């Protein structure tokens, strides 16, 4: 079975020769969008163009090119019965042998993409906070777990940024625009402080607080008194609310992670659409 490399630098160091596979054109339905790339080495892979039969074809062709030392190729692939895939669209793939300069450029792109990932701040490293961190470590976000209790942070085994803070609100104030905040500390007063701080930023992509409708109502009253009438209209509380009544931390975490990622990707889509419209208007 082919191994997948999570670390970009390690991947490029491990493979002596690599084929870059890029989706250059997409017509109709496709598992990924144009511009998506993956890298095929003799043993390792990095990235994905959507999986399935399409990806198998690309990997097989890439490794054939490695064996024959072919420098480039183009594939025109219908995503239908011809290849046993039911997307129904049509894609074009460019496969190219990567030079040393190509590798440096690819690594730079990957690092820039990672640096531009949205931040998700989990304010509280209790059972649910740690369960959310376990899930988010596998997604394209920069996950930050913040707590005042070192013993709780030490229980987290996820590969995320763990921060011990006497004043956790500092991380809220210093968060980059369009960050997400999930507030679930061990103290309701601290929850109110951190949630109101996140709402006051005015640029958060998501602000959620664990609790109930009653806790939300208490926060609304608290904000009127202590935060100059700050509105909580943009607050999600309860978080991860579904028809399920299962209260296990892992189940709650799954619903919350889906909720946060939906908010983040929706914000990104709206931002990208706005930038595209602005460019088109400027070009006219």
Query: How far is Cα 278 from Cα 273, in angstroms, rounded to an integer?
Result: 9
Q: Are residues 91 and 192 in the same domain?
A: no
Q: Are residues 90 and 220 in the same domain?
A: no
Q: Are residues 110 and 59 in the same domain?
A: yes
Per-residue model confidence (pLDDT) at position 1: 33
Residue 185 contacts residue 167 (beta carbons within 8 Å): no
How far is the CA of 153 from the CAs of 13, 43, 134, 168, 254, in angstroms? 33, 37, 13, 13, 20
All residues at 6 or more sequence positions from 227 whose CB lies less than 8 Å from its CB, including other chains: 196, 200
Q: Give the structural domain span for 212.
A: 119-264
Residue 84 contacts residue 53 (beta carbons within 8 Å): yes
pLDDT tops 60 at residue 2: no
Q: Are residues 75 and 123 in the same domain?
A: no
Q: Are residues 29 and 164 in the same domain?
A: no
Q: Are residues 93 and 154 in the same domain?
A: no
Q: Are residues 132 and 254 in the same domain?
A: yes
| 221 domain-assigned | yes
pLDDT tens string 237-271: 999 988 888 999 999 999 999 999 999 998 765 55
Q: Alpha helices, DSSP H only, in 202-248?
A: 213-226
CA angle 163, 233, 252 (to 5 degrees): 50
pLDDT tops 80 at residue 11: yes
pTM: 0.82
Q: Are residues 222 and 145 in the same domain?
A: yes
Per-residue model confidence (pLDDT) at position 163: 97
Q: Is 72 exposed, middle or buried (0-12, 13-18, 19+ CB in 10 A)?
A: exposed
């Amino acid at each position: 079975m082919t191994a997948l490399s999570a670390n970009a630098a390690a991947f490029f160091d491990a493979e002596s020769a690599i084929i870059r596979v890029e989706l250059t054109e997409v017509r109709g339905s496709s598992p990924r969008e144009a511009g998506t790339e993956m890298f095929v080495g003799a043993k390792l892979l990095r990235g994905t163009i959507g999986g399935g039969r399409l990806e198998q074809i690309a990997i097989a062709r890439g490794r054939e090119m490695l064996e024959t030392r072919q420098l480039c190729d183009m594939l025109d692939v219908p995503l239908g019965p011809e290849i046993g895939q039911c997307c129904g669209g049509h894609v074009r793939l460019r496969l190219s042998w990567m030079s040393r300069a190509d590798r440096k450029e690819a690594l730079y792109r990957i690092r820039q993409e990672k640096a531009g990932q949205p931040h998700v701040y989990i304010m509280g490293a209790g059972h649910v906070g740690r369960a959310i961190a376990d899930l988010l470590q596998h997604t394209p976000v920069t996950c930050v777990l913040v707590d005042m209790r070192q013993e709780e942070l030490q229980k987290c085994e996820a590969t995320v940024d763990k921060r011990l803070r006497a004043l956790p609100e500092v991380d809220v104030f210093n968060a980059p625009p369009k960050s997400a905040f999930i507030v679930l500390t061990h103290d309701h007063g601290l929850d109110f402080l951190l949630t109101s701080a996140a709402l006051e930023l005015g640029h958060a992509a998501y602000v959620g607080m664990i609790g109930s409708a009653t806790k939300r109502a208490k926060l609304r009253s608290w904000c009127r008194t202590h935060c100059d009438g700050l509105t909580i209209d943009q607050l999600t509380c309860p978080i991860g609310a579904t028809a399920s009544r299962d209260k296990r931390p892992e189940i709650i975490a799954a619903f919350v992670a889906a909720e946060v990622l939906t908010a983040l990707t929706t914000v990104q889509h709206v931002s990208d659409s706005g930038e595209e419209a602005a460019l088109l208007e400027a070009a006219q």
